[in-house]
Amino acid sequence: MNKKKETIKDDVPACEYGEKRDSLRAALADAAQKPVIVAFSGGVDSSLLLKLTCEAAKARGTTVYAVTMQTRLHPAGEIRAAEALAEKIGAVHLVIPVDELESAGIGDNPTDRCYRCKKFLFMQMLQKAEELGVRRILEGTNEDDLHVYRPGIRALKELGIKSPLADAGMTKADVRRLAAEYGMSVAAKPAAPCLATRFPYGTKLTYEKLEAVGKGEDFLKTLGFRNVRLRVHDTIARIEVDVEEFPLVSDHQKEITNALNGLGYPYVTLDLAGFRSGSMDIGLDADR
């Protein structure tokens, strides 16, 4: 089945986009006057932030540390991709191993999971900053994140972590546009959020469950799906893909069913609403 070519949408007025871009660059020029840490996942937001910060730091001869958290709550291949990209951009890449299920109090997948997790992760990063003598940490929250359920943002504010993209008003579309202008390979990269988001709040999380859902999504991606979420409701695996790719599900119905059955999901369903970020957050207050 032929796939449509991915494009970066450009629906932001040039003057507004240019003002936000210039504001971001000015903020990073200020931040890069001294050594700085960028929380780096390898996604488009943190990658653009790292690129621009390194660009500003180069003119001043300061060091930028790209710090990646080694966690089993994210797809396994992400840390390797982050390491390669940080090296290409020119940052000093550091990895901090963590165990959120054990240490962050999120084993029962509470509704404030993101707050607890962010608080724990950035406290580790602050410790690393102290070791390095770095006084400023930047991270990649964008403007769109401020208008959906993101309890982790409260933790960032409490800890004094700066979010330059959001502060400059850069939306996800703006971020992708600027990344594309720089020719960055991640410009159109789909988001890869924490695997705990695949389970209803209140579900007992285990690394075995997280590994299974990760393997399920990896398999679906090999079939050509771009945006994929495998939401797990006990014995039911609910597939979210873009509506225009529903025919691809039908084409591979038997393969998908067999693969997901083999991962421990006896019931496999397709969500007719299609792919949407944060579908487990329906009914939660975005301001919490």
Q: Of 30-39, 69-78, 90-99, 265-274, which gets the smallest average pLDDT?
A: 69-78
CA distance 76 to 84: 14
Can you give the CATH number for the domain in which 62 is found? Answer: 3.40.50.620
Helices and strands (H and E) in the chain: how many: 11, 7
Is residue 120 in a domain? yes
The answer on 124 and 26 residing in a single domain is yes
Secondary structure of residue 129 in the 3-state scheme: helix
* Of 235, 239, 286, 243, nearest in space to 111 by CA: 286
- Express as a percent the part of the chain with pLDDT over 90: 81
pTM assigned to the model: 0.87
pLDDT of residue 8: 41
pLDDT of residue 14: 62
Total number of domains in the chain = 2
Q: Of 85-89, 98-102, 204-208, 272-276, which gets the smallest average pLDDT?
A: 98-102
The answer on 155 and 239 residing in a single domain is no
Tell me the per-residue pLDDT of 167-197, one tens digit each, with 9 for 90 and over.
Answer: 999 999 999 999 999 999 999 988 888 999 9
pLDDT of residue 72: 83
* Structural domain boundaries, residue 220: 195-281
206: left (phi over 0), alpha (psi -120 to 50) or beta: beta
Is residue 121 in a domain? yes
Tell me the per-residue pLDDT of 64-121, one tens digit each, with 9 for 90 and over.
Answer: 999 999 988 887 678 888 999 999 999 999 999 999 888 999 999 999 999 999 999 9
Domain boundary among 181, 203, 227: 181
Can you give the CATH number for the domain in which 206 is found? Answer: 3.30.70
CA distance 226 to 96: 29
pLDDT of residue 76: 66
Question: What is the average pLDDT value for the chain, to the nearest integer?
Answer: 91
Is residue 78 in a domain? yes
Mean pLDDT of 232-260: 97
